[in-house]
Structure 1
Amino acid sequence: MIHQQSQSLASTAAESTGVEEAMTYAGLVYYEEKRAEDLVTFAVVKDLNALLEFIKKDCPHAERGQNILFRFKDYNGYIELKFDAPQKKPFTGWCIEPHMDSCKFLRCDVDKFGEANYPLPSTCLVSVYGSDDAVPTLHYSVPLDGVADPKTLFIHRSLRTLGLSLPAIPVNPRPLPVLRKREQGLDLVSIKKRVQQVLTKHQAVLSEAFSLSLSSIFNEMAGVGIVSNDSEKSYEAIIKSFKVGMSFMKSSSDLESYCVKFLNGLSKVGGPVALAAETICDEWTEASEGELLFDCLAKRTKNT
């Protein structure tokens, strides 16, 4: 009897494992124009509809690209994007730059999207640049390693006809202008909370971006007084110091200036960090419903 029960349990476990191993996942590529570059995002999820809804809300202007369905080769494994594969088509003049050294997606992490503490899908960000003399069209293949059946993604971009360049950011920007505005009826507590919510929303991507240039970011933050020189050099410590300092801002103009110091410090680092600053700036302006002028102040500082 015990032997039969053991056989039954083993059979049930095998069937369950087989179902889980056969589970189909979705991968989607989408594109966003970020000044002189295209930002390519590859996202992996179990529920494609949930991902499409996320993109609709978080990246309303994104251009949707290729999507695939796949299965993990191993239940406790991962898939990896291979950017060093031989190419069949020329890509002279193009730069394909992943934001991580290794673009791996652990199955256990992918499964968490949508849970209370995991509002963001698993993604890999890739910056794509084309020089003026680049081949007109990029069709770059990126095979997936760790999938049950061979799959290949393609980054497809065309060279922009208008030459775009990043605006120069002065090495020693002038002091931030102080704009005094009507304080009556302004709920600073609520606005500070919304400012923090934007940072929390992008926590995963920001942490990745900070890891690429952590020393430079720390030096910029120390230079404008966001962090002290003896603070810990980590993403968590920098963001915590920013939030603590923000709690002492007693007027809208003080809060504006403090936030723009933070944004300009990130902008001066360049690369993905500068793109993150641009995104945060736009979302802070929207979150404050126009009560604060993050965008105006940031542009004015860059152009001085």
Structure 2
Amino acid sequence: EEQNAHQQLESDDSDSTSVQSQLSEATKYAGLVYYEEKGVEDLVTFTASKDLNALVQYIEQRHSQAEMGQNVYFSFHPSRDYLELKLDHTPQKYPFDGWTIQSHFEPCELHRCDIDKFGDASDPIPPCCLISVNKSPRAVPTLHYSIPLEGVVRPVTLYIHRSLRTTNPRTSSSSSNTINEVTAASSNGGASVPAIVDVDVDKLKKVINSVLVSQFAAFASLPKEAIPDLANQLYSVHLINSAVRDNPSVEKFIGEFKASLNFMTEMSEVQEHCLKFLNSFLAVSGSFTSAAKFLYQKWIIAIKTELGIDFIIDINFN
């Protein structure tokens, strides 16, 4: 009798798993690619939602100058709760000599829980993956680049389609707090090829601070026993003073970060400041690595939404 009961429980668990898998496969999501010109580069965004019309409406309202491209439908694989854009230069059918395709975040993933939240009062922005596309003077005239999606039930492939432009980007600005050359700060001291865009540094700093403050509760939940280690990392790159190091807290770290940021007037300073902050979290590892990834993605999305620019930091999360 006990054996029969055990077998019945196993059968019930199997049935439950089967039902969950069927529900997962039955739930359809819509994905959409759209393009925006950012100086000499193209910013490619892939975003997803349960409702394609909601995505289109969002883009028309918040990114009115964007060019909408391919849309796809997909279901998550029962064993995965996220999808990943595989930017590994999978063998391409068409040549892409002279073109550079670079994601802003690695791995380039969209999680189902974030997609499901879009439309809630607290999540008016759909999750997205950002990709920069640059070309050299000798690039082939047309780019048709395939990106497979992993983590979905049936094979889905996105295509980035771009052509060489002949117009020159805007290169001047009248604001003393606006700079025209945006470069990616590099963890190894290098920088990416400049993209010429207008950036109001004061507005940029406000968005960065706003995101950091809005996520205070999440950062306050990090393991307290590792806070002194984070303090040492921040102190070693001159982001906090000795008083904060000796009596550390997340609130004080954020306060010091914001205080230093207020005195910065150049985009490169802001990027380097954010890079040092994120790298300090990565050095502690564990949940602090997840916190760094989370914050960087929040910064990217907020800056793109509020200012219409792509904020790139050359940081290695691996």
TM-score, structure 1 normalization: 0.57
**CA deviation after TM superposition for structure 1 residue 145, in Å:** 1.3
Deviation at 1:131, TM superposition (A): 0.9
Equivalent in the alignment of 1:137: 142
In structure 1, C-alpha distance between the alignment counterparts of 2:111 and 2:181, rounded to whole Å? 39
Gaps of 5+ in 1: 170-191, 205-217, 247-257, 285-304
SS of the residue aligned with 2:53? Answer: helix
- In 2, are the aligned partners of 1:98 and 1:126 still within 8 Å (CA)? yes
Aligned residue for 2:129?
A: 124
Instruction: Name the amino acid aligned to 1:149.
Output: R
- Runs of 4+ residues deviating >6 angstroms: 5-13, 235-239
Q: 8 Å contact 1:76–1:108 — kept in the other structure?
A: no
Shift in CA distance, 95/9, structure 1 to aligned 2, threshold 3 Å: closer
Q: Following the alignment from structure 1 to structure 2, what is the Cα–Cα distance between the partners of residues 41 and 56?
A: 14
Q: Tell me the residue number matched to 1:107.
A: 112
| Mapped pair 1:150 → 2:174 | no
Whole-Å Cα distance in 1 between the matches of residues 263 and 34 of structure 2?
30
Partner of residue 72 from structure 1, selected from 45, 54, 76: 76
SS at match of 2:140: coil
Q: For residue 30 of structure 2, what is the aligned residue in structure 1?
A: 26
Q: Deviations over 1:174-212 (max 9, x none)?
A: xxxxxxxxxxxxxxxxxx9xx5699449x89xxxxxxxx
Deviations 1:276-297 (A, max 9, x none): 89x959957xxxxxxxxxxxxx
Q: Match for residue 63 of structure 1?
A: 67
Which structure 2 residues correspond to residues 90-239 of structure 1 after superposition, within 5 A? Answer: 90-164=95-169, 167=180, 199-200=210-211
Deviation at 1:74, TM superposition (A): 1.8
Counterpart contact for 2:240–2:253, Cα < 8 Å: no
| RMSD value, Cα | 4.7
Aligned residue in 2 for 1:44: 48
What secondary structure sits across from 1:18 in the alignment?
helix
**How big is the shift at 1:71?**
0.9
Name 2:199's counterpart in structure 1. Answer: none
Q: Deviations over 1:129-173 (max 9, x none)?
A: 01111111100011111211111110000111135587458xxxx
What is the CA–CA distance in structure 2 between the aligned matches of 1:237 and 1:120, rounded to whole Å? 29
- Please report how far the alpha carbon of residue 39 of structure 1 lies from its aligned counterpart in structure 2 after TM superposition: 0.4
Distance 1:37 1:238, change over 3 A: farther
C-alpha spacing 1:281/1:138, structure 2 compared with 1 (3 Å): closer
CA contact (8 A) 2:264 2:270 kept: no
The alpha carbon displacement at 1:53 in A equals 2.2
- Counterpart CA distance in 1 for 2:25 and 2:251 is 36
TM-score (norm 2): 0.55
Distance in 1 (alpha carbons) for counterparts of 2:103 and 2:240: 31
CA shift for structure 1 position 19: 3.0
Measure how far apart 1:239 and its partner are.
Answer: 6.6
Note if contact 2:25-2:153 (Cα within 8 Å) is conserved in structure 1. no
Q: Which AA in structure 2 matches 1:131?
A: S
Where 2:131 maps in the other structure, the secondary structure is strand
Deviations 1:69-112 (A, max 9, x none): 01111264321111221101011100001111211222223222
Distance 2:271 2:44 in 1: 20
Against the structure 1 CA distance between its residues 92 and 99, is the aligned structure 2 distance closer, same or farther, given a 3 Å change threshold?
A: same
User: Could you tell me whether the CA contact under 8 Å between 2:62 and 2:305 is conserved in 1?
Assistant: no
Within-5 A mapping of 1:255-270? 261=265, 265-266=269-270
Separation in 1 of the partners of 2:58 and 2:252? 28
Q: Equivalents in 1 of 2:268, 2:207: separation in Å?
A: 17
SS at match of 2:145: strand
For residues 75 and 149 of structure 2, what CA distance do their matches in structure 1 show?
11
Q: Secondary structure at the match of 1:52?
A: helix
Unaligned runs of 5+ in 2: 172-179, 183-202, 216-233, 274-295, 308-318
Percent same amino acid among aligned pairs? 43
Alignment of 1:268-287 (within 5 A): none
